[in-house]
Amino acid sequence: MNYKGKIWPSVLFIGGVVVLIILALLSGCTSNERAKAFGGTQTITLAAGEKVINVTWKNADMWILVELPNGSKEFREYSNWGVMNGKVVFK
């Protein structure tokens, strides 16, 4: 029996399914999740004169403590999907 012509469609189908699953998993991850879970990179740009004091995670949300140019401090939340970003200001 000659299986060469019959095996390649199966291999291509399985390979395509694997690629689709990987793409679905990666597209479902936000930049917070990738940075925390998989060692990805997330870039946050601060305004001029602001200084980062501390960064912490609460589940998949990132909280950053920033010192503002006027001396007050501010916690900023970068949520998982960017839908609910919080802010706490200390004067």
The ranges assigned to domains in the chain are: 4-90
- Residue 68 CA: distances (Å) to CA of 43, 46, 53: 19, 10, 10
* pTM tops 0.75, yes or no: no
Return the pLDDT at 42: 76
pLDDT of residue 68: 93
Q: How would residue 30 be classed by pLDDT, with cut points 50, 70 and 90?
A: low
Tens of pLDDT, residue by residue over 32-80, are: 666 676 666 778 889 999 999 999 888 778 889 999 999 999 988 887 6
Q: How far apart are CA 71 and CA 91, in angstroms?
A: 8
Q: Number of helices (H) and strands (E), helices first, in the chain?
A: 2, 4
Residue 13's H or E segment, with its range, is: helix 4-27
**Beta carbons of 44 and 51 less than 8 angstroms apart:** no
Which residues are 8's β-sheet partners? none
